[in-house]
Chain A
Amino acid sequence: MRLLIAAILIAAPMVAQEIRLPANLEKTLADRASETVDVNLDSNLLQLAGRFLSDKGDEAQAKKIISGLKSIYVKSFEFDKTGEYDQADLEPLRAQLKGPGWSRLVGVSSKKKGENVEIFLRHDTNRVTGMAIISAEPKELTVVSIVGDIDPNQLSELSGHFGIPKIDTKSKKDDD
């Protein structure tokens, strides 16, 4: 019994890193969605993907980013009409992000557009070991969970790659 408790205590933080939509909610949302994106890559698949990425352009960028990652989970649902999910539906997800090590980095919400995007980071001493994004829009819900060593600078370098518009990170005031 003691061994079981010890095993659970050891395994709990590892499981806690993996932010997931509850299975029943995932199924409900998938049934209601007009389009679903489902990406679930573990370390083996990330390694395999890495072998097929070239050392040039976008793919070199991706290769650099995934080198320290353990898993990537992305669920994105697009709905034909609004009201297909409720903010309360996301509470079990947010509860996972209240676990040890997790902190909310930034939250952007627009009452006018009904959009709410939150970014959470998981820290382990001085390293970022996990990132989660919850993007709740009236007709779209996206959940991203990345586990592993993440360099936020590398992620910001995604702009200009993979069809994402290039963003000038220097503010206009700096230019003046």
Chain B
Amino acid sequence: MDDFERLLEQSLRREAAPFGFEQRVMALTARRRVAWQKWTAIAAMAVLTAGAGWRYEEVRRERAAGESAKAQLETALRITGAKLNKVHQTIDSMNEGF
């Protein structure tokens, strides 16, 4: 066995992990998982809140437009009806004379 082979054997020799290494790795993984879950939850909440806000705004706008259209329609029908009735009444009063 020459020097090179000895060096290679030393380098490739299985060594036990330092004391507490496994616990430290597991703790770090757990901490990262918790952090990842926390940020995922925050992102999901933000998306849900934005979605709900957007939907609320959409419904609010549609309601406002609908109420405005309804008010315009009622005004139009009121004016139209009043004019039609004016003609109706005039014709009626003329007929009464006969």
> Is the pair B76, A158 in contact by a Cβ cutoff of 8 Å?
no
Q: Write the chain A residue with the least CB distance to B75.
A: A39
> Is the pair A49, B69 in contact by a Cβ cutoff of 8 Å?
yes
Distance of A45 Cα from B68 Cα, bound (Å) = 9
Known: A46-B69, A53-B70. A106 touches B85 (CB 8 A): no
Q: How many residues of A contact B (CB 8 A)?
A: 40
Main secondary structure of the interface of B (DSSP, over half): helix
B91: which of A37, A108, A156 is its contact (CB, 8 Å)?
A108
In B41-95, the 8 Å CB interface with A consists of: 62-63, 65-67, 69-70, 72-92, 95
> Is the pair B85, A165 in contact by a Cβ cutoff of 8 Å?
yes
> Is the pair A62, B73 in contact by a Cβ cutoff of 8 Å?
yes
For this complex, 14 residue pairs linking A to B, each with C-beta atoms less than 8 Å apart, are A40-B72, A41-B73, A48-B62, A52-B70, A53-B70, A58-B74, A76-B79, A117-B83, A117-B87, A117-B90, A144-B76, A146-B80, A159-B88, A165-B85
- In the complex, besides A58-B74, A172-B96, 18 extra interface pairs with C-beta distance below 8 angstroms are A41-B69, A48-B65, A62-B77, A65-B77, A72-B73, A74-B79, A74-B80, A76-B79, A117-B86, A119-B87, A144-B79, A158-B77, A158-B85, A161-B81, A162-B77, A162-B81, A167-B92, A171-B95
